[in-house]
Amino acid sequence: MADYEIPTLGDVEERPIPQLAPGAMANAKTCYPASAAHQEALGFPGGLVPDWQEKAIAKMGDLLGRYRSLQVFMDICVKCGACTDKCHYFLGTGDPKNMPVARQDLFRSVYRRYFTPAGKMFPALVGAKDFTRELLDEWYNYFHQCSQCRRCSVFCPYGIDTAEISMAAREIMDHIGVGQKYCNEILGKVHKIGNNLGLPEPALANTLEGLEEDVKDETGLDVKYPLDVEGAEVLLITPSADFFAEPHVMGLIGYGKVFHAAGVSWTLSSYASEAANFSMFIGNYDHLRKAALRIRKAAQDLKVKRIIFGECGHAWRVAYSFLNTVAGPWDFLDPRYPVPQHILEFTYDLIRRKGIKLDRSGNEGKVLTIHDSCNVARGSRMGDFPGGQFAIPREVIKASVPTFVDMHRDTICEKTFCCGGGGGLLTDELMDLRIKGVKPRAEALKQVVDDHGVTHMASICAICKSQFTKVLPYYGFDREMIVSAHQLVSDAIVLGDNG
């Protein structure tokens, strides 16, 4: 492992808040800028445009007129400080500019200078600032230290959501030619090939065939992992990490076993082979819609009746909250089911109706906890009641394992911490930030490991799974303790004797 400064874990009961360390992350290694090719593929300028300041202000005005959230959030913050100890990146780094209100103020200072009478007349009095090159650099640095997890918005008395502001900031930066490589390169691959990894159809087919063989070896049964099957009942849209990364792929194996046991025909699509939609991270509505429309086209071409999403956090936010808006209406699908459904909703329903059988001894010796993924927790729902996004994953896990323990109440459900790698920050050059950002989660995990003998932490998000397996080992946790929720289902499900 490379040499990083690893924060010391505190006691979660004491809610440790670091001393302010101004500038701690000011010269942090920031994310690589997008190349001209990656920028232009998305219709953005290839590099910083000469009249960037003017263009940025114009774009800001455009967004203020199109997004009520942005306009209202710019005007109503009273600097009460309720959010200041809520962000995992602040808690992990101590850099005061990682306090949500300070991050917002990087944007707000420009807003005030160019869009408010007070900022035009008395800039120093109200903290209004000219949009200088130095400030733009600060934007790039600190708006890429926000994972858009919305934890601050839970605690804000007015619901101000820093995610909305960091999305707008990235949208403005993209439009003046200062994009982020990780997000924009990936988005280009989705538009061109259909998934974040750039896996073409033959590679997918090959991978899925391999999975069928593995499951056949394990169970002796012909569990199918179908691709592009016209007329299937269900179209499964899952994050492409599920096709190869661990523990993600064990989740995909689990989905297949559930469909098999339930006798529901399903298919993946090589055209829409990605649940993730990084357009949300860069705040771009057009790309959000363009990527989502691939799913619509796949559903129509394959003539499916339902759409189900695999385990992925921001993907589920986009699917649950935005899909109907950007790619609806879904009137050509079976109206008896919500569009889209989450695979956990599907499995939970089967468990309740006794449509599948689970045997907890398949996970003998495991003591589970769950990491509520931020976008699922605070940006979506499962089931038909508020908070179903917390209850349903827990019920499915409890039905699959012998013992389940929740982490500290300040770190679960709507108060969950981000894994530290969300929002388009899951890239190697940000490893220092990612290690520091996972600190609050690591503290809570350590407590249940020490006090309750927790052996595994389930996650329902591809980014969380990748982030945790990579950074938790720096704190002394075993990477194998991170599991997919459907990996647990996979190990508990009873196949083959349903007749």
Task: Name the segment binding other proteins (CB under 8 A); options: 95-103, 215-223, 259-267, 483-491.
Answer: 95-103
How many residues touch other proteins under the rule CB under 8 A: the total is 73
Task: Name the segment binding other proteins (CB under 8 A); options: 94-102, 253-261, 264-272, 464-472.
Answer: 94-102
Which residue from 284, 389, 455, 469 is in contact with other proteins, where contact means CB under 8 A? Answer: 389
Write out the DSSP string of 135-165: HHHHHHHHTTS-----HHHHH-TT---HHHH
Q: Is 135 a binder of other proteins (CB under 8 A)?
A: no
Q: Based on C-alpha coordinates, what's the Rg of the chain?
A: 23
In sequence order, the β-bridge partners of residue 342 are 309
Q: Is 401 a binder of other proteins (CB under 8 A)?
A: no
Taking a C-beta distance cutoff of 8 angstroms, is the pair 76, 67 a contact? no
Which residue from 54, 118, 263, 335 is in contact with other proteins, where contact means CB under 8 A? Answer: 118
Write out the DSSP string of 217-245: HHHSS-----BS-TT-SEEEE--GGGGTS
| Angle at the Cα of 16 from the Cα atoms of 10 and 20, rounded to 5 degrees | 115
Query: Nearer to other proteins by C-beta: 62 or 218?
Result: 62
Which residue from 16, 46, 127, 402 is in contact with other proteins, where contact means CB under 8 A? Answer: 127
Taking a C-beta distance cutoff of 8 angstroms, is the pair 459, 329 a contact? no
Q: How far is the CB of 398 from other proteins (least distance, A)?
A: 20
Binding mask 438-477 for other proteins (x = CB under 8 A): ----------------------------------------
305-324: which residues touch other proteins (CB under 8 A)?
320-322, 324
141-180: which residues touch other proteins (CB under 8 A)?
150, 153-161, 164
Query: What is the strand order of the sheet 306-309 is part of?
Result: 266-267, 234-237, 306-309, 341-342
322-361: which residues touch other proteins (CB under 8 A)?
322, 324-326, 328-329, 338-340
Amino acid letter, 133: R
Q: How far is the CB of 371 from other proteins (least distance, A)?
A: 17
Residue 264, by phi and psi: left (phi above 0), alpha (psi -120 to 50) or beta? beta
Residue 320 carries which DSSP code?
I
Query: Nearer to other proteins by C-beta: 176 or 327?
Result: 327
Q: Which ranges in 67-161 belong to alpha helices (H)?
A: 68-76, 88-93, 100-115, 117-121, 123-126, 133-142, 151-155
- Residues in CB range of 126: below 8 A, 6 or more apart: 112, 116, 118, 119
Amino acid letter, 125: L
Q: How far is the CB of 267 from other proteins (least distance, A)?
A: 22
Q: How far is the CB of 474 from other proteins (least distance, A)?
A: 27
Query: Nearer to other proteins by C-beta: 101 or 356?
Result: 101
Query: Nearer to other proteins by C-beta: 118 or 494?
Result: 118
Determine the longest span between alpha carbons in the chain, in angstroms.
Answer: 78
Q: Is 105 a binder of other proteins (CB under 8 A)?
A: yes
Q: Is 116 a binder of other proteins (CB under 8 A)?
A: yes
402-421: which residues touch other proteins (CB under 8 A)?
414
Taking a C-beta distance cutoff of 8 angstroms, is the pair 310, 238 a contact? yes
Burial of 352 (0-12, 13-18, 19+ CB in 10 A): exposed
14-33: which residues touch other proteins (CB under 8 A)?
17, 19-20, 22
Which residue from 148, 380, 400, 469 is in contact with other proteins, where contact means CB under 8 A? Answer: 380
Q: Is 68 a binder of other proteins (CB under 8 A)?
A: yes
Query: Nearer to other proteins by C-beta: 50 or 81?
Result: 81
Q: Is 371 a binder of other proteins (CB under 8 A)?
A: no
Query: Nearer to other proteins by C-beta: 339 or 489?
Result: 339
Residue 493 CA to residue 360 CA, distance in Å, equals 8
Contacts 24+ apart (CB under 8 A), 220-227: 220/496, 221/260, 221/495, 221/496, 223/256, 223/257, 223/260, 223/495, 224/256, 224/260, 225/252, 225/256, 225/268, 226/265, 226/266, 226/267, 226/268, 227/201, 227/267, 227/268, 227/269, 227/270
Q: How far is the CB of 495 from other proteins (least distance, A)?
A: 31
User: Which H or E element spans position 368?
Assistant: strand 367-371
Which residue from 36, 48, 64, 405 is in contact with other proteins, where contact means CB under 8 A? Answer: 64
Q: Is 65 a binder of other proteins (CB under 8 A)?
A: yes
- Number of continuous H segments (helices) and E segments (strands) in the chain: 23, 8
Query: Nearer to other proteins by C-beta: 294 or 446?
Result: 294
Query: Nearer to other proteins by C-beta: 8 or 19?
Result: 19
223-262: which residues touch other proteins (CB under 8 A)?
none
